[in-house]
Amino acid sequence: MKNTKYLLMTSYKALPVLNTNISSHLNKWINQEYKIETPTLITKALLSFYIDKFYKDVINNIDENQHFLFILRGIFEDNQPVSFFTIQKINKECKKELLNYLFNRISISNDFYLSTPLKSIVFSYRKMYGKIKSDLIVENRETVYHTYYRNKLPVAFNPSEYGKILIQNGKSYTIAIDNKNMINLEQTTIDNKKVNIVHYFKNNQLLFVWKDIYIDEENINREIGKSIYHFRDKSQFKNNNYGFRNYSN
């Protein structure tokens, strides 16, 4: 369609089968591919355009009592499909949340995704029966937070307690706190102590970098900015020259 901002061709060509590990009684995966006539970099506007197209072509036509499994892939210059995240469970009403989630997820995952022209975008989906709570609502209700310059930073040491793990690569994690806030976490050892080095992103912008230092099962030190905080059983104290002062609410 030459009157659209992004020239495209729609394709239903088969792509390599996804290793989904999902039971065989479900419907088969369908790959809907939109080829970009002029390869371009990923932007939020580009994602919005193709999500609108995908909803119009596919999602708006599913029944109200259905949801779908979904994964987004891109094809770059090497012609190999790249999965941007793991499988998500989504209701058809989650269009806005889906756009925010996708762009936030892609933005902090790999510089390659934002610096390499995209040749094709692929929506892989699988229809399912029943309404569900969308996976896009990712805040971990059990997480305890430390308020720092009006930002809620999760208090944890186990990566799964920071939020929802999206990707794990060895000792590196990409974790969603909610649909706007994510962290990259690297587990390491410094001076024989277990340490999490945490990069905190809000609306795709890096705001804070800190270290969470493991003391024991109940105690964690957090070094952020010029401050050192101590958490005892996730209750907050701030370190100063006079010892620990309780900062819990």
Q: What was the pLDDT predicted at 7? A: 47
pTM score of the predicted model: 0.50
Q: Is the pLDDT of residue 212 over 90?
A: yes
Instruction: Give the CA distances from residue 49 to residues 4, 43, 52, 176, in Å, rounded to whole numbers and listed in that order.
Output: 9, 10, 5, 24
What digits encode the pLDDT tens for the residues 113-167? 777 889 999 999 988 888 776 666 444 445 688 889 989 899 989 888 898 888 8
User: For residue 82, which of 114, 104, 51 has the smallest C-alpha distance?
Assistant: 114
Domain ranges of the chain: 8-129, 144-246
Average pLDDT value for residue range 104-110 = 63
**What proportion of the chain, given as a percentage, has pLDDT over 90?**
29
Question: What is the C-alpha to C-alpha distance for residues 113 and 13, in angstroms, rounded to an integer?
Answer: 23
Least-confidence region, from 14-18, 34-38, 87-91, 214-218: 14-18
What digits encode the pLDDT tens for the residues 190-208? 999 999 999 999 988 999 9
We find that the CATH architecture of domain 8-129 is: 2-Layer Sandwich (3.30)
